[in-house]
Amino acid sequence: MTITLPDDPVLTEMGETEILLDLACGAYAAGHVSRGVAARMAGLDRHAFDQALFARRIPSYDEERWEQDLETIRALRSL
């Protein structure tokens, strides 16, 4: 996929890496893509992407993941 942005000095100063990261964070925050897809968009591993989300105060741990983790803990306790 190719995205064409306007030839603006501010965008040039930001650079491609920062623009991709901002797009990935925005797409994740809006619920358009998963964390994994967003991390790939930004060219980062999941841990580095989670750090970028944290720096931008974008929550990456939601109620659904919390419930999944609780289910896993309960299953492990019953072993």
pLDDT at residue 79 is higher than 90: no
Domain that holds residue 31: 9-77
* 37 part of a folded domain: yes
For residue range 17-54, list pLDDT tens digits in order. 999 999 999 999 999 999 999 999 999 999 999 999 99
- Residues 1 and 19: their CA atoms lie apart, in Å, by 15
- The answer to the question of residue 68 being in a domain is yes
Task: Identify whether 1 is part of a domain.
Answer: no
Provide the domain count of the chain.
1
What distance in Å separates the CA atoms of residue 35 and residue 10, rounded to the nearest whole number?
Answer: 27
Percent with pLDDT over 90 in the chain? 71
